[in-house]
Amino acid sequence: MNSLDITRGTVPGRLEDLSLELPQGKLVGLVGPNGSGKSTLLQLSAGILPPSGAVAWGGRALADIPALERGRCASWVPQDAQFEFGFTVWSVVAQGRYAHGDDGKGVEAALGLLDLEPLAARPVNQLSGGERARVLLARALVTEAPLQLWDEPLAALDPRHALETLRLARAVSRRGTTVLFSLHDLRAAHELDLVVVLHNHRLRAFGTPDEVLTPGLYLEVFGVRAVPAPGLSLELP
Protein backbone atom coordinates (compact mmCIF):
# COMPACT_ATOMS: atom_id res chain seq x y z
CA MET A 1 0.00 0.00 0.00
CA ASN A 2 1.38 3.37 -0.98
CA SER A 3 1.28 6.18 1.50
CA LEU A 4 0.75 8.82 -1.17
CA ASP A 5 -0.45 8.53 -4.75
CA ILE A 6 -0.68 11.53 -7.02
CA THR A 7 -2.08 11.00 -10.49
CA ARG A 8 -1.64 13.71 -13.07
CA GLY A 9 -1.62 16.45 -10.45
CA THR A 10 -1.69 19.91 -11.98
CA VAL A 11 -1.77 23.37 -10.45
CA PRO A 12 -1.91 25.90 -13.28
CA GLY A 13 1.35 27.80 -13.67
CA ARG A 14 2.98 26.07 -10.72
CA LEU A 15 2.97 22.33 -11.29
CA GLU A 16 2.29 20.36 -14.43
CA ASP A 17 0.97 16.86 -14.89
CA LEU A 18 2.80 15.22 -12.04
CA SER A 19 2.32 11.60 -11.05
CA LEU A 20 4.08 10.15 -8.03
CA GLU A 21 3.76 7.13 -5.74
CA LEU A 22 5.45 7.18 -2.36
CA PRO A 23 5.76 3.84 -0.59
CA GLN A 24 5.04 3.61 3.11
CA GLY A 25 7.68 4.24 5.74
CA LYS A 26 10.19 6.06 3.58
CA LEU A 27 12.16 9.19 4.23
CA VAL A 28 11.82 11.17 1.03
CA GLY A 29 13.62 14.36 0.07
CA LEU A 30 12.11 16.90 -2.30
CA VAL A 31 14.70 18.98 -4.13
CA GLY A 32 14.70 21.46 -6.95
CA PRO A 33 15.69 25.06 -7.67
CA ASN A 34 13.75 28.01 -6.24
CA GLY A 35 10.34 28.25 -7.84
CA SER A 36 10.39 24.73 -9.24
CA GLY A 37 7.14 23.82 -7.47
CA LYS A 38 8.27 22.13 -4.23
CA SER A 39 5.87 24.00 -1.93
CA THR A 40 3.08 23.53 -4.44
CA LEU A 41 3.67 19.79 -4.60
CA LEU A 42 3.62 19.57 -0.80
CA GLN A 43 0.38 21.54 -0.57
CA LEU A 44 -1.16 19.49 -3.34
CA SER A 45 -0.17 16.32 -1.48
CA ALA A 46 -1.63 17.72 1.74
CA GLY A 47 -4.97 18.40 0.09
CA ILE A 48 -4.67 22.11 0.74
CA LEU A 49 -4.66 23.08 -2.92
CA PRO A 50 -7.60 21.75 -4.86
CA PRO A 51 -5.99 19.37 -7.34
CA SER A 52 -6.84 18.78 -10.92
CA GLY A 53 -5.94 15.17 -11.04
CA ALA A 54 -6.22 12.76 -8.14
CA VAL A 55 -4.55 12.50 -4.75
CA ALA A 56 -4.87 9.42 -2.55
CA TRP A 57 -3.61 8.72 0.95
CA GLY A 58 -3.05 5.10 1.91
CA GLY A 59 -5.05 4.04 -1.12
CA ARG A 60 -8.07 6.22 -0.30
CA ALA A 61 -9.04 9.06 -2.61
CA LEU A 62 -8.72 12.37 -0.83
CA ALA A 63 -12.21 13.38 -1.89
CA ASP A 64 -13.60 10.48 0.19
CA ILE A 65 -11.87 11.52 3.40
CA PRO A 66 -13.86 13.97 5.58
CA ALA A 67 -12.14 17.11 6.83
CA LEU A 68 -11.67 16.00 10.42
CA GLU A 69 -10.26 12.60 9.48
CA ARG A 70 -7.76 14.28 7.15
CA GLY A 71 -6.19 15.81 10.25
CA ARG A 72 -5.33 12.29 11.42
CA CYS A 73 -4.09 11.05 8.03
CA ALA A 74 -1.61 13.66 6.90
CA SER A 75 0.14 16.62 8.40
CA TRP A 76 1.58 19.59 6.55
CA VAL A 77 4.18 22.00 7.89
CA PRO A 78 4.47 25.39 6.18
CA GLN A 79 7.80 26.93 5.34
CA ASP A 80 7.22 29.68 7.83
CA ALA A 81 4.22 30.84 9.77
CA GLN A 82 3.56 34.28 11.14
CA PHE A 83 1.53 34.04 14.29
CA GLU A 84 -0.69 37.02 14.97
CA PHE A 85 -1.93 35.86 18.34
CA GLY A 86 0.05 34.94 21.43
CA PHE A 87 -0.93 31.33 21.97
CA THR A 88 1.60 29.52 24.12
CA VAL A 89 3.97 27.04 22.51
CA TRP A 90 2.26 24.29 24.48
CA SER A 91 -1.20 25.17 23.20
CA VAL A 92 -0.07 25.48 19.57
CA VAL A 93 1.53 22.04 19.72
CA ALA A 94 -1.63 20.70 21.38
CA GLN A 95 -3.62 21.89 18.35
CA GLY A 96 -2.10 18.90 16.58
CA ARG A 97 -4.55 16.79 18.56
CA TYR A 98 -7.60 18.66 17.22
CA ALA A 99 -8.62 15.78 14.98
CA HIS A 100 -8.22 13.39 17.92
CA GLY A 101 -10.73 15.27 20.06
CA ASP A 102 -8.16 17.54 21.69
CA ASP A 103 -6.96 14.81 24.02
CA GLY A 104 -3.54 16.43 24.51
CA LYS A 105 -1.80 13.09 24.03
CA GLY A 106 1.89 13.14 23.26
CA VAL A 107 2.28 16.90 23.56
CA GLU A 108 4.93 16.76 26.28
CA ALA A 109 6.86 14.12 24.38
CA ALA A 110 6.83 16.15 21.17
CA LEU A 111 7.99 19.24 23.05
CA GLY A 112 10.84 17.17 24.44
CA LEU A 113 11.81 15.75 21.04
CA LEU A 114 12.12 19.20 19.55
CA ASP A 115 13.86 20.74 22.52
CA LEU A 116 10.91 23.03 23.24
CA GLU A 117 10.29 22.28 26.91
CA PRO A 118 11.93 25.51 28.13
CA LEU A 119 9.70 27.48 25.72
CA ALA A 120 6.43 25.69 26.53
CA ALA A 121 4.82 28.70 28.23
CA ARG A 122 6.15 31.33 25.80
CA PRO A 123 3.76 33.10 23.39
CA VAL A 124 4.46 31.89 19.84
CA ASN A 125 4.40 35.39 18.41
CA GLN A 126 7.58 36.17 20.36
CA LEU A 127 9.68 33.30 19.01
CA SER A 128 12.55 33.37 16.54
CA GLY A 129 12.18 31.81 13.10
CA GLY A 130 14.00 28.62 14.08
CA GLU A 131 11.98 28.23 17.26
CA ARG A 132 8.77 28.71 15.27
CA ALA A 133 9.89 26.02 12.83
CA ARG A 134 10.39 23.57 15.69
CA VAL A 135 6.94 24.40 17.11
CA LEU A 136 5.37 23.63 13.72
CA LEU A 137 7.26 20.31 13.53
CA ALA A 138 6.19 19.35 17.04
CA ARG A 139 2.57 20.12 16.15
CA ALA A 140 2.85 17.95 13.05
CA LEU A 141 4.34 15.06 15.02
CA VAL A 142 1.64 14.97 17.71
CA THR A 143 -0.96 14.38 15.01
CA GLU A 144 0.61 10.90 14.62
CA ALA A 145 -0.37 11.16 10.96
CA PRO A 146 1.22 8.43 8.84
CA LEU A 147 1.99 10.94 6.08
CA GLN A 148 4.16 13.90 7.04
CA LEU A 149 4.66 16.72 4.52
CA TRP A 150 7.20 19.30 5.60
CA ASP A 151 8.12 22.42 3.65
CA GLU A 152 11.80 23.22 4.21
CA PRO A 153 11.81 22.22 7.88
CA LEU A 154 15.58 22.64 8.14
CA ALA A 155 15.92 26.06 6.51
CA ALA A 156 15.66 28.13 9.69
CA LEU A 157 17.34 25.69 12.07
CA ASP A 158 20.80 25.93 13.58
CA PRO A 159 23.19 23.03 12.76
CA ARG A 160 22.44 21.00 15.86
CA HIS A 161 18.67 21.30 15.57
CA ALA A 162 18.86 20.57 11.84
CA LEU A 163 20.77 17.35 12.49
CA GLU A 164 18.42 16.40 15.31
CA THR A 165 15.41 17.01 13.09
CA LEU A 166 16.88 14.80 10.38
CA ARG A 167 17.47 12.10 12.95
CA LEU A 168 13.92 12.53 14.21
CA ALA A 169 12.51 12.25 10.67
CA ARG A 170 14.53 9.08 10.21
CA ALA A 171 13.17 7.62 13.47
CA VAL A 172 9.59 8.53 12.54
CA SER A 173 9.92 6.90 9.12
CA ARG A 174 11.28 3.69 10.69
CA ARG A 175 7.99 3.40 12.54
CA GLY A 176 6.10 3.29 9.23
CA THR A 177 5.43 6.96 8.64
CA THR A 178 6.22 8.43 5.26
CA VAL A 179 8.04 11.73 5.51
CA LEU A 180 8.24 13.91 2.40
CA PHE A 181 10.16 17.12 2.96
CA SER A 182 11.77 19.76 0.82
CA LEU A 183 15.37 20.79 1.35
CA HIS A 184 18.20 22.59 -0.39
CA ASP A 185 21.07 20.74 1.26
CA LEU A 186 21.91 18.21 -1.46
CA ARG A 187 24.50 16.53 0.74
CA ALA A 188 21.81 15.78 3.29
CA ALA A 189 19.58 14.55 0.47
CA HIS A 190 22.16 11.87 -0.27
CA GLU A 191 21.42 10.29 3.12
CA LEU A 192 17.69 9.81 2.48
CA ASP A 193 15.76 6.77 1.23
CA LEU A 194 14.31 8.42 -1.87
CA VAL A 195 14.62 11.72 -3.67
CA VAL A 196 12.08 13.61 -5.77
CA VAL A 197 13.57 16.18 -8.14
CA LEU A 198 11.43 18.97 -9.56
CA HIS A 199 12.52 21.19 -12.41
CA ASN A 200 10.46 23.84 -14.18
CA HIS A 201 7.22 22.76 -12.48
CA ARG A 202 7.66 19.14 -13.61
CA LEU A 203 8.84 15.91 -12.07
CA ARG A 204 12.40 15.54 -13.33
CA ALA A 205 13.48 12.41 -11.46
CA PHE A 206 12.42 10.09 -8.66
CA GLY A 207 14.42 7.29 -7.10
CA THR A 208 17.17 6.50 -4.64
CA PRO A 209 19.75 9.25 -4.15
CA ASP A 210 22.45 7.24 -5.89
CA GLU A 211 20.30 6.76 -8.98
CA VAL A 212 19.00 10.28 -9.10
CA LEU A 213 21.55 12.73 -7.80
CA THR A 214 24.10 12.37 -10.58
CA PRO A 215 26.63 14.99 -11.75
CA GLY A 216 24.64 15.36 -14.97
CA LEU A 217 21.47 16.18 -13.03
CA TYR A 218 23.29 18.66 -10.80
CA LEU A 219 24.47 20.55 -13.82
CA GLU A 220 21.20 20.40 -15.71
CA VAL A 221 18.77 21.11 -12.89
CA PHE A 222 20.74 23.21 -10.46
CA GLY A 223 23.40 24.64 -12.76
CA VAL A 224 26.22 23.55 -10.44
CA ARG A 225 29.09 21.15 -10.81
CA ALA A 226 29.42 18.37 -8.26
CA VAL A 227 33.01 18.16 -7.06
CA PRO A 228 33.96 15.50 -4.53
CA ALA A 229 36.04 17.26 -1.91
CA PRO A 230 37.25 16.59 1.58
CA GLY A 231 35.91 19.20 3.96
CA LEU A 232 34.03 19.92 7.11
CA SER A 233 31.20 17.57 7.91
CA LEU A 234 29.00 17.97 10.95
CA GLU A 235 27.44 15.28 13.08
CA LEU A 236 25.74 14.98 16.44
CA PRO A 237 28.04 14.06 19.35
Partner 1 sequence: MNPRVRISKFALPGLLTALFLLALLALGYGDMHLSPARVWAGLRHEDPVAATVIWQIRLPRILVAMLVGAGLSASGLVMQAFFRNSLASPGLLGVSSGGAVGAVGAIALGWASTSLWALPAAAIVGALLATGAVLLLARQGASGERLLLAGVALNALLAAATSYLLSEFTGPYEKNTQILFWLLGGLEDRTWEHVMIALPIVAAAALLWPLGRPMDLLSLGAKEAQSLGVDVRGLRRRLLLLSTVLTALATAVAGSVGFVGLVVPQVLRLMVGPEHRRLVPLSLLGGAAFVLACDVAGRAAGGLRLGVVTSLIGAPFFLWMLRKLP
β strands within the chain, DSSP E: 2-11, 15-23, 27-31, 52-57, 60-61, 74-77, 147-150, 178-182, 194-199, 202-207
Which residues neighbour 47 within 8 Å (Cβ) at sequence distance 6 or greater? Answer: 55, 62, 65, 70, 74
**Closest CB to partner 1 among residues 5, 151:** 151
75 binding partner 1? (CB under 8 A): yes
The interface mask with partner 1, positions 122-141, x = CB under 8 A, is --x-----------x--x--
* Among 61, 63, 68, 219, interactor with partner 1 by CB under 8 A: 68
* Among 25, 95, 164, 193, interactor with partner 1 by CB under 8 A: 95
Residue 139, CA distances (Å) to 32, 55, 170 in order: 26, 23, 17
Compute how many other C-beta atoms are within 10 angstroms of the C-beta atom of residue 146.
21
Of 39-47, 51-59, 157-165, 209-217, the window that binds partner 1 (rule: CB under 8 A) is: 39-47
Minimum Å gap between C-beta 233 and partner 1 is 34
| Residues between 7 and 36 that touch partner 1 (CB under 8 A) | none
70 binding partner 1? (CB under 8 A): yes
84 binding partner 1? (CB under 8 A): yes
Q: What are phi and psi of 234, to 5 degrees?
A: -105, 140
Count of residues binding partner 1 (CB under 8 A)? 33
